[in-house]
Structure 1
Amino acid sequence: MNTTIPSETNLEDILQQLQDELSDGNICVDHFLQAHQRMRQYNLRLQELIQWAIEQHREEKKLQDLYRHVAGWNASELIKELNKAGYNIKRNQNIKGAFDRQGYRILELIRAGKRDQVFHAILRMYVSFQRPFPEVLLEAFKPHYSDELFKVFLFSFLSSILGKDEQKHEQNQSGRANEEQANED
């Protein structure tokens, strides 16, 4: 069975391939993940094309509405990816420690809208630990995103690094519940 979906395959063919696999009882999770990634790429490309169309036909309200819808969906996906990237950083204690030390300063730079300083501070951490700068994080710094959206992107990324570990949080909640139960008895 083929392990990747060829890059020249169109969206309808990708969906048909997934349907055929399901009909045959062969479920390849990687194919679903690849299809999702391909749809994400199509949506980003669609957003660029709609923006280009708006530049040529500014008075077309339907295009503007469609652009807001597609851009909103793409921004939502980017927020999820940034949050996931932040959680992945927690696995590397060195870079996590650097974010713990610099995180609140970076949060203040984000709040003030100082993109270049935020980029420099985060890049410096990655360079100092000889880690590649995440592509998804690079996307958040692109200038076509509004300052407000940039802030949401970076707050989402940092909140997953600086926030409590989910497992520790659940343990603390469980411990408190047990302690409250013991106090009631």
Structure 2
Amino acid sequence: MAVSLSGAKMGESVLDLCCGSGDLAFLLSEKVGCNGKVIGLDFSKEQLSVASSRQKLKSKACYLNIEWVEGDATDLPFSDVHFDAITMGFGLKKCSRVSILDFNKGINPIVSSVQELMIDNVVVPVASDFGLEEDYKYLKSSIREFLTGDELEKLALDVGFSSATYYEIGGSLMGNLVAIR
């Protein structure tokens, strides 16, 4: 379910946090195919060793696209890396909280229009000045695919969080989901 809900597609780059022995990473690898990339990150050398051993035993060519990285999910060891999807299975421990800040998919068409104008006329041009146009020009189409705040709250509850609250920020241009395990 986590892999399906991640929205990962063929050829994309994905990160599996707290990957353990690699179960989700292998499924993600099948989803993104041989031209995609999967990074499995875990703090446990032992779990990464198990994942690497399993990778060597498996025969699907797409599994060669998986890289195992030792690291802390709260302090990612990647600089300027873009992932199309990020998953985490069983990585949050009891009493854990997650806070996710991102653009908001508003339900008000006026707010959505203002958001698109700001992306076209402020965000992308400023990013271009720093040579980052490619990293930001996808935002409009990406935001259209986002879940609404209510949908994110429901999803968090459906996957096992005990509470979830979505806060709209900046006149609904952005939002922050806070969920507690």
Do they superpose with TM above 0.5?
Answer: no
User: TM-score, normalised on structure 1?
Assistant: 0.26
Q: Which has the higher strand share?
A: 2
Larger radius of gyration between Structure 1 and Structure 2? 1
User: TM-score, normalised on structure 2?
Assistant: 0.27
